[in-house]
């Protein structure tokens, strides 16, 4: 199963040049706990968020769609910290796990890539997958994570909110891209 | 909306060699994506990565791996290199596919990170899948990337393509 999952991931969203467009970029201010992509156009087939996270609390980045904070999300996670490896899942949550924390200093950032598939399809629930990690050279426990998420809604996604328990540092930045079919 | 996913350079090896280098990388993009289709001449070796020719102990990594039967995780700190794949199959017809993402490579305020995923499909040479998080503790913009096998050479026919992604 692992091979199947990661094989699918590795053969995934490598866009042909010209089919991949930048939509918007959001950057932390140091005083806000959420960053939002709003008025997302329906010009694409898939969306991808690429970014680096940093915050002061050492907590994960969550994501919600279309301002829905009800318990309409499901998450699954496979992760390791170099010492142990584990899998984790939750149903009926209020968000999905989008990225790990990038803590220990403002220069230690955590990369994340989030693929949101068929985001405007009004016949399907929305699914996404995340690859994210953090490594502070042993200063804090680091992780590499491979996550999936489900939003049980058939609405087209027009807004994505990324949230932290603390605040996004000024070195946190996320870019939203659209991928054409 | 601008077109933003550009191929920077492709290298295909005409003969086995110890390393592959992408140099003079422009700072015009936001992220880099490296697609590698590779095999090596020595069984069980890894493909390591260094930035800007830095061979100091400024690298670290964390990885998880599974092959359908077993799984494992590993990490190391204060290394003189990080990795894009911990194991590459020594098989010219069933090469290991590696997708490496280097986020915000040209900023000068953060250390540089990578996340890499790799798959090797060979039924006879330790098939498996891996994801890896790497760190280079340096805030310099990345202008060169050097890839090498821990032992043996990168084999003939291996291909490496570097893409740039630019955010608005």
Give, in order, the Cα–Cα distances in Å from B105 to each of A3, A60, B26, B165: 30, 22, 10, 11
Interface pTM, i.e. ipTM: 0.93
Q: What is this structure's pTM?
A: 0.92
- The confidence band for B2, taking pLDDT boundaries of 50, 70 and 90, is low
pLDDT at B79: 98
Whether B152 and chain A come into contact, CB under 8 Å, resolves to: no
Contact in structure between A147 and A118 (CB atoms under 8 Å): no
Residue A80 has pLDDT above 90, yes or no: yes
Counted domains in chain B: 1
**A-B Cβ pairs (cutoff 8 Å, strict):** 181
Residue A57 has pLDDT above 80, yes or no: no
User: Nearest-CA neighbor of A52 among B163, B77, B33, B30?
Assistant: B30
Residue B23 has pLDDT above 70, yes or no: yes
Q: Please name the residues between 57 and 76 in chain B that touch chain A, using a CB distance below 8 Å.
A: 60-64, 66-68, 71-76
Name chain B contacts of A14, Cβ cutoff 8 Å: 33, 35, 99
Q: Taking all residues of chain A, what is their mean pLDDT, rounded to a whole number?
A: 89
Q: Which of B59, B96, B113, B142 is the best mutation test for A, with the most CBs of A within 10 A?
A: B113
The domain that contains B125 carries what CATH number? 2.60.120
- The confidence band for B42, taking pLDDT boundaries of 50, 70 and 90, is confident
Domain span including residue B95: 5-165
């Amino acid at each position: 199963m692992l091979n199947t999952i990661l094989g699918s991931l590795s053969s995934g969203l490598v866009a042909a040049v010209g089919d991949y467009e930048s939509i918007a970029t959001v950057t932390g201010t140091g005083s806000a706990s959420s960053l939002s992509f709003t008025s997302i156009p329906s010009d694409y087939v898939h969306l991808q968020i690429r970014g680096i996270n940093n915050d002061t609390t050492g907590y994960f980045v969550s994501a919600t769609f279309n301002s829905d904070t009800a318990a309409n999300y499901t998450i699954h996670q496979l992760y390791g910290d170099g010492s142990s490896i584990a899998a984790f899942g939750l149903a009926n949550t209020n968000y999905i796990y989008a990225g790990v924390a990038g803590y220990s200093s403002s220069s230690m950032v955590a990369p994340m890539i989030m693929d949101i598939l068929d985001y405007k399809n009004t016949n399907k629930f929305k699914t996404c997958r995340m690859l994210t990690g953090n490594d502070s050279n042993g200063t804090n426990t680091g992780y590499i994570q491979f996550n999936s998420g489900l939003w049980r809604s058939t609405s087209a996604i027009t807004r994505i909110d990324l949230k932290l328990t603390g605040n996004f540092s000024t070195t946190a930045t996320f870019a939203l891209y659209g991928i054409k079919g | 909306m601008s077109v933003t996913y550009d191929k920077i350079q492709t290298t295909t090896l005409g003969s086995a060699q110890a390393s592959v280098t992408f140099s003079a990388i422009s700072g015009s993009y936001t992220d880099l994506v490296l697609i590698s289709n590779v095999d090596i001449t020595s069984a069980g070796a890894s493909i390591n990565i260094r930035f800007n020719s830095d061979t100091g102990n400024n690298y670290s990594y964390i990885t998880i791996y599974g092959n359908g039967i077993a799984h494992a995780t590993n990490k190391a700190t204060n290394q003189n290199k990080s990795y894009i794949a911990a194991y590459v199959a020594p098989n010219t017809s069933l090469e290991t596919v590696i997708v490496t993402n280097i986020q915000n490579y040209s900023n000068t305020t953060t250390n540089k990170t990578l996340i890499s995923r790799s798959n090797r499909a060979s039924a006879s040479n330790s098939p498996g899948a891996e994801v890896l998080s790497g760190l280079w503790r340096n805030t310099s913009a990345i202008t060169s990337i050097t890839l090498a096998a821990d032992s043996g050479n990168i084999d003939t026919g291996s291909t490496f393509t570097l893409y740039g992604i630019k955010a608005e």
